[in-house]
């Protein structure tokens, strides 16, 4: 397979962890930490948006500061729906990595939900694209030797 023609489905993370728009920011933050991810597709019977760690940190500027009563209160009262991005930019699993990378650059985002038939089937991030680049370089180096 030529790397320039690689499809999103070849490099995406399949079946990503998702969250409901009704979840609290505390739950969303914990889910991100437990799963070592920085973004969660938001699903309420169908895909409705995405919430990122940056969205949560912007909403809770005192996060991590001990004794910040207001932040603790906001974490359990604010919901994902209050800070998420509705109808974000997405890609199809059959799109090429180049198309995904171009969308990320154009919209200045570091990850895109992968949607097929209205359902979240994966997520593609800058790290996935870097992995493709590194593997491509390794192959080119091996061929040149």
| Contact present, 40 and 18 (Cβ < 8 Å) | yes
Q: How large is the average pLDDT for residues 4-32?
A: 93
Give the mean pLDDT of the chain: 88
3-state secondary structure 70-137: HHHHHHHHCEHHHHCEECCCCECCCCEHHHHHHHHHHHCCCEEEEEECCEEEEEEEHHHHHHHHHHHH
- Better-predicted residue by pLDDT, 7 or 60: 7
Question: Which domains occur in the chain, in start order?
Answer: 3-144 (3.10.580.10)
Written as six digits, the tokens of 60 are 């809770």
Q: Which pLDDT tens digit goes with each residue over 81-106?
A: 999 999 999 999 999 999 999 999 99
Written as six digits, the tokens of 98 are 């180049």
- Better-predicted residue by pLDDT, 62 or 21: 21
Beta bridge partners of 118: none
Long-range contacts of 66-71 (CB under 8 A, 24+ apart): none
| Contact present, 122 and 14 (Cβ < 8 Å) | yes
For residue 142, count other CB atoms closer than 10 A to its CB.
8
Beta bridge partners of 112: 124
Q: Which pLDDT tens digit goes with each residue over 43-84?
A: 999 999 999 999 998 888 766 555 566 667 777 789 999 999
Concatenating the DSSP letter of every residue in 19-52 gives B-TTSBHHHHHHHHHHHT-SEEEEEESEEEEEEE
């Amino acid at each position: 397979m030529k790397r320039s023609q690689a499809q999103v489905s070849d490099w995406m993370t399949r079946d990503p962890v998702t969250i409901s728009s009704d979840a609290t920011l505390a739950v969303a933050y914990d889910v991100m930490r437990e799963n070592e991810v920085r973004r969660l597709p938001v699903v309420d019977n169908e895909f409705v948006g995405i919430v990122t760690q940056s969205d949560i940190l912007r909403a809770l500027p005192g996060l991590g500061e001990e004794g910040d009563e207001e932040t603790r209160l906001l974490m359990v009262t604010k919901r994902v729906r209050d800070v998420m991005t509705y109808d974000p930019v997405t890609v199809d699993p059959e799109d090429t990595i180049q198309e995904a990378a171009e969308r990320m650059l154009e919209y200045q985002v570091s990850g895109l939900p992968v949607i097929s038939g209205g359902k979240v089937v994966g997520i593609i991030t800058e790290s996935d694209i870097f992995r493709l680049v590194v593997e491509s370089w390794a192959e080119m180096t091996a061929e040149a030797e």
